[in-house]
Structure 1
Amino acid sequence: MMAATSCCAIERAVQCTLIEKSPLMLECETLDLIGIGVSVWDSICLVPSLPAPGEVVRAERLVEGIGGGVTVAIAMASRLGCRAGMVDCVGDDSSGKAIMSRLNVEAVNTDLMQVLPGGTTSVASIWSDSRTAERTIVFVPGTACDKIKWQEAIFEAVAKARVLHLNGRHPEICHAAVEVAKANRTLVSFDGGAYRYRDEVVPLMRASDVVIVARQFAESHFEAVTKRAAVRQNLAALTAFMAEDLRCEVVGVTDGARGSHFVSSAGKSFDQPAIGSDEALDTTGCGDTFHGAFLAGMCQGQDWASCAQLAAEVSGKNAAGVGGLSYQPSGKTE
């Protein structure tokens, strides 16, 4: 059961407002948050157990909705009151249309979304075990996502935004956007998911102000830098290593139901326990909604500890439903 203070934190986040940057940047309407990433149309089957090879399993429930790490984070931040926009390229197929429609429903600005005529959109089929909340994902990338092009409108939006959020997908667009962000005092947020560590995303991570990564991602970076195994690193030590290596404003390492640990540039470190993990039904989108809520707290001007608490609250509630974006701040789950 979530404490009353936790509910209040979520209610405060819904009132998220833009933090002013300069009179020049406020001449036009600005967005708090810009995300660059690959949007996916998810089909999620909640099953009593993951099937063995050749086995037929009857699903308890089927849910369809938007997926993709950055896209889900941006949509959740929008639900929590941020003015958020998404940069991506989808096809003009049914999945692409569904994604665009859903983003509009979520009040995510789609002016920077590109649609490729004749292109296909990224889709995923997800099986989620209702007993353990663990999942298996089969992903089809589609043809549209790699056709994204840099546009002047992206430059203008990033320059005016409070925060740029990315995970390394669309690398050329990300690198260009980071340059714009650095020149215009826009904070850069990086999401490093489990089993997503690649050499090509490291420069983007190093250029970021806010870095929140999964434990497995942090371990991969530790091993790449030190040439030593990370198996004996506890979460606090692993986060301290990341903070020392990256020298950014704040680093967080998440570890599922075991919670997360953060270290700020001021040298402050703290644990954030997981919230509601014992009530988890489907962990799809847990990390993504964690990021979205953390970003919402940032846009509201909360301190790092408050951002982390909000993130844990929201991701825990999201896991109580089915789908990457199941939690509504009103208290409903989809």
Structure 2
Amino acid sequence: MINFHLIKVRKFPTGREVQEVVESANDGGGPVSTALAVAGKFGANVVMLDRIGDDMTGRTILEDFKIYNVHTDGVEVVGGTISGCATILVEAESGKRAIFFERSTAPEYGESDLVRDLITDSKILHINGRHRQALLPAIKSAKKAHTLVSFDGGANRYESSLDEIMAHIDICIVARDFGEKYTGETDLMKACYSIHEKGALIAGVTDGANGSYFVWPDGTEYRCAAYSQDTIVDTTGCGDSFHGAFLYGLTQWGTIDEQGILDLQYTPNEVLEACAKLASAVGALNTRQLGGRSGLPTLDEAKQLANI
């Protein structure tokens, strides 16, 4: 979880200079929290697990979750610590970003800190590599309860130490940079097959305006085109919102077995393709406004663009 202060400028500074801000905004952010914001906005029952500081930034983060119907029962406020924040420069013409961030000083979870009931009562556990010491125990609890594990591998976030965790992921959708480093493949469909062979039931690689690539549980490949936008204001949060929309689709349209378990292997490929289209539409529409969440569409808007 993080709070963003976004500043749109005409051009990125190249040295010492003064220029007037075109536009600015404050917005919530973070890979998992923004994914949950999408799913919560669309009507899914979601809960955030994390720790934040007892500062103004932390209070802002909690208030923002209320807007998107994200439950914060699993968020622990730690006294004497600060919450994560970032300042993002957005170039007006291109929508490109430069990010300057400050990490939260709230300690990450250890195994003994996990709220296991919130994990085992869920259909999907969505992670991105944070709380490293607690991830394998959390995944173990999820697997025991037949809770699917989803992973968001963002650009510039691959570390070889994640490989042990990646071996246990059911839904693995990563950015191009992450996928290339993790698999050694520059052909993105081949990268998907590699991720699938490593154990992921759903393997995906996103490539911005070039669309996304998938291999489904039965080994079938699928290429999802991106939805172009006439004007791109800001690309912050597009990948995170892609994940949230995809997971929302799975929980709503995926096959539920007699025990109430979401079963990917028996979910038709047509449903999985609809999830990908919805995700692509949400990511595209989220470029309309400054910030990672303020531009999020309604579910009807996203379904209309995706024609589903």
What interval of TM-score do these two structures reach, taking the shorter chain for normalisation?
0.7 to 0.9
- Which of residues 154, 166, 170 is equivalent to 1:209? 170
**Which residue does the alignment assign to 2:4?**
42
Q: Which whole-Å deviations, capped at 9, do the CAs of 1:131-180 have from their partners, x for residues lacking one?
A: 11110100100311x24455677211111100000011011222221011
Quote the offset at 1:85 in angstroms: 0.5
**Which residue does the alignment assign to 1:316?**
284
Structure 2: 5+ residue stretches without partners: 255-270, 302-308
Mapped pair 1:297 → 2:258: no
Question: Is the contact between residue 116 and residue 147 of structure 1 (CA under 8 Å) also seen in structure 2?
Answer: no
Q: 1:115 to 1:278 in 2, by over 3 A?
A: same
Three-state SS of the structure 1 residue aligned to 2:43 is coil
What is the TM-score normalised by the length of structure 1?
A: 0.81
Three-state SS of the structure 2 residue aligned to 1:237 is helix
Alpha-carbon distance in structure 2 between the residues aligned to 1:258 and 1:126: 24
- Which of residues 20, 31, 51 is equivalent to 1:69? 31
**Quick check: 212-221 or 171-180, which moved more?**
171-180
Alpha-carbon distance in structure 2 between the residues aligned to 1:150 and 1:205: 18
| Pairs within 5 Å for 1:1-334 | 39-144=1-106, 146-148=107-109, 154-223=115-184, 230=185, 233-244=186-197, 246-302=198-254, 303-326=271-294, 327-329=296-298
Q: Which amino acid aligns with 1:135?
A: R
Alpha-carbon distance in structure 2 between the residues aligned to 1:306 and 1:168: 27
Q: 1:218 to 1:152 in 2, by over 3 A?
A: closer
Quote the offset at 1:277 in angstroms: 4.2
Three-state SS of the structure 2 residue aligned to 1:310 is helix
Alpha-carbon distance in structure 2 between the residues aligned to 1:157 and 1:76: 19
Q: 1:153 to 1:138 in 2, by over 3 A?
A: closer
Q: Which amino acid aligns with 1:238?
A: A
Three-state SS of the structure 2 residue aligned to 1:253 is strand
Three-state SS of the structure 1 residue aligned to 2:39 is helix
Question: Is the contact between residue 276 and residue 313 of structure 1 (CA under 8 Å) also seen in structure 2?
Answer: no
Alpha-carbon distance in structure 1 between the residues aligned to 2:140 and 2:53: 28
Percent same amino acid among aligned pairs? 34
Q: Over aligned residues, Cα RMSD in angstroms?
A: 1.7
Number of matched pairs: 284
Structure 1: 5+ residue stretches without partners: 1-38, 224-229
Quote the offset at 1:279 in angstroms: 2.8
Quote the offset at 1:276 in angstroms: 2.8
